[in-house]
Chain A
Amino acid sequence: MGYYFYTEKMSVGYQMRPLIEKIQIGLEKGEILTLIGPNGAGKSTVLKSIARQIKMVAGAAYIGGGSIGRMSGAELSRKMAVVFTERLRAELMSCGDVVATGRYPYTGKFGILSKKDARAVEEAMELVQVGGIRDLDFAKASDGQRQRVMLARAICQEPEVLVLDEPTSYLDVRYKLEFLSALQRMREKKGLTVIMSLHELDLAARVSDKILCLNGKYAEKFGPPEEVFADGYVGKLFGISKGSFEDGSGGVELEAPRGEAQVFVIAGGGSGRNAYRRLQREGTAFASGILFENDLDYPVAKALAAECIAARAFEPVPEETVRRAMRAVDGCRKVVCCRESFGTYEAANERLLLYAKSQGKEIARA
C-alpha cells in the first residue's frame, strides 16, 4: 500500500455493532476525500471512527503508515484535527480564544501560548479570513463566521489530516465557496489531506479528488468524482424518485408533470430551460425539440419533458427526427417558441414552427 492515508477492512458502528463493514479508502497526501450518501447512511459514523471518537468495530485506519488506533492521544492530536457538527462550547471566549484552543497539543503544562503559538493562531485566522473578528465574542458570531473560526482552529492545530463533518451546512453560497477555496489553499500550502462529508453534491463533485459513497449498509463506491457522477448512479444512491439529479452539473430538477404532452416547446441554446420549469410549476406536461444532445436545454428537457426529441450533436438533423417532432406538434394544443430567430443549423426548428402555424396551432412566444 503506497497510500498516505488508508483503511484496512474498516468496520464502523455503535456499541460494537457494525453499521458499515469493510470500508477501503486510499488517499495520497494532499487529496480531498468527500463522503456522500443519504441521511443516516453513516457518514458521521465513519468520520467519528476515523477520528477515534467512537471505537472501530474491526479493521484499522493508517496515517503515514501508523495505525490511528495505536497512537497516543497526544500523538493523534498533532496529526488530526476535527470540525464536527456538534457545537463547540465557548463560554466567554472570543473568536481568537477559540482558535487558540487548537494549539493545545503544543503548549506546556499550563497551556500558556508562546509567541510561536500566537503566530500560528494569527496565520490560521488570516488564511480563512477571520482575522478581523479576533476579539468578537464567539457566541455572538454568525453561523458562517463560527464555521470559519472552527476551521481556523483546526488549521492552527497543524494537523496532517483534517476531518470535517458537513462543514458547509451553515454557510451561504459565498462562504461555501470561500470555505472550499480555503481548503484548497491549505492543501497547496501544507499538503493537508482532507476527509469530509458534504450534502452539496455539486460542490462535492468539484472539490473532491476522491468520493466515498455510503448507502447505510456498505461503502458502495469509492473513486474519483468522474466515476461516481456518471450513468445516473447518484440518483440511485439517494433513491431519488421524485425528480432527478443531473450528473454533469450536479443540479436537480423536480418531478416531471404527468400525462400526455399538452404543449410543444421549441427551444435550443439554453433558451428553453425557464419555460420548461414554468410549465413544470403549472403542472402542464410538454414535449420539446429539436435539441442537439449537447444543448444546454437538453438535460433539463430530458428531466422534465414528457417527450424530448433530440438529435446527435455536430450532425445534420435527420428527416426522420423532424417528422417525429411534427407528429408531436400534432398532439399538442399549443406551441411555445423560445427562439427569437433561427440560425443556419436550426433550420429544422424553423420548419417546425412554420408547420405548427400551418396546422393552426396557437403559437406563443416565451
Chain B
Amino acid sequence: MRKKSAARHLAAFFVLLAGIAVCLLLNISIGSVKIPFFDVFRILAGDGADGIDGRIVWEIRLPRAIAAMELGGALALSGYLLQTFFHNPIAGPFVLGVSSGAKMAVSLVLVFFAGGAAKISAAALVGAAFAGAMASMGFVLLMSRKVDSMAMLVVSGVMIGYICSAITELVVTFAEDAEIVNLHDWSRGSFSGVTWENTAAMTCVTAFASAAAFLLAKPLSAYQLGESYARNLGVDIRLLRAAMVLLSSVLSACAVAYAGPVSFLGMAVPHLVKALFGTAKPILMIPACFLGGSAFCLFCDLLARNLLAPTEVSISTVTAVFGAPVVLWVMVERRRDGGA
C-alpha cells in the first residue's frame, strides 16, 4: 500500500509536468500567427530568433506563457494556503475578496499616482497589490472571528470582493478617457502585454514565497489536524498563522499585480490536485498545487486567446467556466459525506 501510493504520487507529478509541457508548447505555437511545433523548437534553440516568428515567440508568447505558469501556480498555492488556514474547502483568494482588494489597490495607485502610465515600478505595483490583499485579508480575518460557519465566511469574502470591485470600476470608468489603455483589460484579468522585466520580477516573488511555503510543510501538516492537536505537537500556532496569511497574500497579490483578478483558479486547483494525488499532505500538495495551477492557467490562457480570436476573452471568463463547477462538486461531495 505504501509503495502503491508512492507510485501514484510519482505518476501524478509526471501528469502535471507533462500537462505543463504540452500546454506550454501549444501556447507558444497557436495564436493569430500559427507557428509549427518544429519551428518553435528551432526558435527556442536560438535559431531564427530575429525573424518575425522568432520575435513573436521570444517577445510576446514566451513571456506571456511563463507569466501564466508562474502566476497560475502562485494563485493555486495561495488558495491551498487559505483553504488550510480557514479549514474551509471553498476558500480561495478570489472567493475571499483578497484578489479584489489587491485589484482595487493597484488601480488606485495606477490612476492617482502614476497618472495612468505604465511606468510605475514593479515593486510599487506588487507592493500596492500586497497592501490591498492584506487589507481584504484583515477584514476577512475579523469576520472569521465573528462567524464560524464556512459558508458565512465565504459570503462575507464575496461581499468584500463586490465592494472592492465596485470601487475599482468607478476608478477605471473615471479614468477611461485618458491614456489608460490597458487598465480596463487588466481589471478584467488578462496576461496580455507581459514583458520580460515583468516575468523577472514575478519570478523573484513567487519563487521566494513558494519556497517559504514549502518550508512550512511540516507545521502545516500538524495545523491541518486542528489547532489544539497542532499546539500539542509543539507548533507555534500564532507564528504559523501569520506566515500563512502573509505568504498567501503575497502570492495572490503578485498574480493580481500582473494579470488582474483571475477567478476560481486558486479555489479549484487544490481540489483537482488533491483528487489526483489522493492525499492532502502539504509536503506533496505545495509543489503539486503550484504545478497544477501552472498547467490549469496555461490551458485557460490558451483558450482565452484563441476561443474567439482575434478578440481575446478575459482569463477569468475561462477559469470560471472550469473552476466554478469544481466549487459545486466540492459542496455536493461534502454534503454526501455528512460534513458541513
B226 interface residue, CB < 8 Å from A? Answer: yes
Q: Are A84 and B224 also in contact (CB < 8 A) when A104-B218, A104-B234 are?
A: no
Query: Inside 8 A of B215's CB, which chain A residues have their CB?
Result: 109
**Contact (Cβ within 8 A) B217 A104:** no
**Contact (Cβ within 8 A) A89 B225:** yes
Nearest 7 pairs between A and B by C-beta?
A73-B234, A77-B234, A111-B218, A91-B280, A74-B234, A104-B233, A92-B280
A341 interface residue, CB < 8 Å from B? Answer: no
Q: Which of B266-283 contact A (CB under 8 A)?
A: 274, 278-280, 283
Q: Give 7 A-B contacts (CB < 8 Å), ordered by A residue.
A: A53-B231, A53-B232, A84-B228, A92-B278, A93-B280, A109-B215, A112-B283
Counted as pairs of residues, one from A and one from B, with CB atoms less than 8 Å apart, the total is: 73
B1 interface residue, CB < 8 Å from A? Answer: yes
Count of residues in B whose CB is under 8 Å from the partner chain = 24
Query: Inside 8 A of B87's CB, which chain A residues have their CB?
Result: 89
Select from chain B the residue with minimum beta-carbon distance to A140. B337
B→A interface (CB under 8 Å): 1, 87, 215, 217-218, 221-222, 224-226, 228-229, 231-236, 274, 278-280, 283, 337
**Contact (Cβ within 8 A) B283 A77:** no
**Contact (Cβ within 8 A) B234 A110:** no
- Looking at the assembled complex, report how far the CB atom of B290 sits from the nearest CB atom of chain A, in whole angstroms: 16
Count of residues in A whose CB is under 8 Å from the partner chain = 34
Partner of B231, one of A52, A81, A134: A52
Complex Cα spacing A74 to B235, Å: 8
Complex Cα spacing A242 to B195, Å: 80
Query: Inside 8 A of A88's CB, which chain B residues have their CB?
Result: 225-226, 229
Q: Which of A72, A107, A111 has the most B CB atoms < 10 Å from its CB?
A: A111
- Looking at the assembled complex, report how far the CB atom of B235 sits from the nearest CB atom of chain A, in whole angstroms: 7
Query: Inside 8 A of B225's CB, which chain A residues have their CB?
Result: 88-90, 101
Q: Which of A142-186 contact B (CB under 8 A)?
A: 157
A335 interface residue, CB < 8 Å from B? Answer: no
Query: Inside 8 A of B283's CB, which chain A residues have their CB?
Result: 110-112
Complex Cα spacing A184 to B222, Å: 28
**Contact (Cβ within 8 A) B221 A101:** yes
Query: Inside 8 A of A112's CB, which chain B residues have their CB?
Result: 283
Query: Inside 8 A of B235's CB, which chain A residues have their CB?
Result: 73
Select from chain A the residue with minimum beta-carbon distance to B283. A110
Query: Inside 8 A of B233's CB, which chain A residues have their CB?
Result: 73, 77, 101, 104-105, 157
**Contact (Cβ within 8 A) A111 B224:** no
Complex Cα spacing A93 to B222, Å: 13
